[in-house]
Structure 1
Amino acid sequence: MFQVGDKIVYPMHGAGVVKAIEDKEILGKTQQYYIIQMLIDNMQVMIPTNNVDNIGIRPVSDRPILKKVLQEFQTEETEDSLPWKQRHRKNLMKMQNGEIHDVAEVIHDLMSRSEEKKLNSSEKHMLVKAKKIFISELELIKGINNTRAIDLFNAQLKKSC
């Protein structure tokens, strides 16, 4: 169970901070909810505390994991032999998983692909979303603002090129 102030990652939505834990009555049923302030779009979400495992919410990664992910980002090979539908499904599953290394793989693969061919609109959208999710977690891991996280992310991308 998370506590107020915990930093979390909500798959497909990015990183946020638990602002409150409240009992709410919705449709005549009272449940306990996490109130989470998301970094992306400064959105606030309510998630039933008993549904967290099903959704895949997890604590924010720590610095050693981030360091490992960034090192892998520089050395990872891209698998480009899959047809578009399979590649999209594989990337979507990684995004839904919400693990930082999976999101980084999606970014790496789509950016590598974009250097060879123009991405279709679905892939462009997925790349933008993956970057936002990764950067939001980077903000909380490093304790920096969005602008600094974007700069750090872009500097890392330059190293991998």
Structure 2
Amino acid sequence: MFTPDQLVVYPAQGVGKVERIERQTIGGAEAEFYIVRILSNNVTLMVPVRNAVNVGLRAVCTAEQGNGIFESLADRSGFTGYTGQNWNRRYREYSEKLKSGELGDVAYVLKELLLIGKDKELSFGERRLLEQAMGLITLELAHALGKKQQEVQTEIEEMFADVLATQEKS
């Protein structure tokens, strides 16, 4: 159960704040809803309390989990390089991972796209997914670690400075 003023993460939308819990009658049935305002775009969502876990609503990660995400981003051992895999298949896989709302999945997409960008120019769709993943990660880690979002993004960009320098040359 989430409480008013608690920071939560809604899959593919990012960090939001539970503004209140309210009862509403919809279709003749009364239900409780979390009213969540997404911080990045000010969109307000109504999430049924009963179904919150099923839709992936979760608390912002802890500082310990956030530091673990930084470690996973820095670890390039599992990346074998761009394999020429079908972009449509990769796009679907990455979109599903972003929709999962799991921070580890979002970090995976971010890291893969940054590293693929070292070997080839990213398409428009890939760049959009990269921006979405970066926004989701940086905002959540900023709240978890008590930093500014731009500060977190700068740290990630520094971690991938070699990759980003290659992309700028192309």
Q: Same fold (TM over 0.5)?
A: yes
Correspondence for 2:118: 115
Question: How far apart are the structure 2 equivalents of 1:160 and 1:120?
Answer: 19
2:92 is matched with 89
Q: Distance in 1 between matches of 2:146 and 2:28?
A: 40
RMSD over aligned CA atoms reads 1.7
Q: Deviations over 1:107-131 (max 9, x none)?
A: 1111111222121222111111111
**Map 1:4-153 → 2, pairs under 5 A:** 4-76=4-76, 77-79=78-80, 80-81=82-83, 82-144=85-147, 148-153=148-153
Q: Kindly indicate whether the alpha-carbon contact (under 8 Å) linking 1:106 and 1:127 is maintained by their aligned counterparts in 2.
A: yes
Identity across aligned pairs (percent)?
Answer: 27
Deviation sequence 1:20-73 (CA, Å, 0-9, x none): 000123344432110112111122211111221221111111011111110110
**Post-superposition offset of 1:78:** 2.7
SS in 2 for 1:40: coil
SS of the equivalent of 1:118 reads: coil
Structure 2 stretches lacking a partner, 5+ long: 162-170
Instruction: Verify the 8 A CA contact 1:78 1:108 in the aligned structure 2.
Output: no
Runs of at least 5 residues in structure 1 that lack an aligned partner in the other structure: none
Question: Given residue 78 of structure 1, which amino acid in structure 2 is its aligned partner?
Answer: F
Read off the aligned partner of 2:79 and give its amino acid letter.
T
Measured in 2, the distance between the counterparts of 1:122 and 1:102 equals 18
* Bigger Cα displacement from structure 2, 7-16 vs 69-78: 69-78
Task: Figure out how many residues of one structure are paired with residues of the other and give that number.
Answer: 158
Q: Check conservation: 2:142, 2:152, Cα contact below 8 A.
A: no
What TM-score comes out, normalization by structure 2 length?
0.84
Report which stretch shifted further, 27-36 or 94-103: 27-36
- Whether the 8 Å contact between 1:73 and 1:160 is mirrored in structure 2 is no
CA distance in 1: counterparts of 2:26 and 2:154, whole angstroms: 43
Which has the higher mean CA deviation after the structures are superposed, 148-157 or 13-22?
148-157
| Bigger Cα displacement from structure 2, 100-109 vs 25-34 | 25-34
Rg bigger for which structure?
2
Q: Secondary structure at the match of 1:41?
A: coil
| 2: CA distance, partners of 1:126 / 1:51 | 27
Equivalent position of 2:165 in the other structure: none
TM-score, structure 1 normalization: 0.88
Letter in 2 for 1:134: I
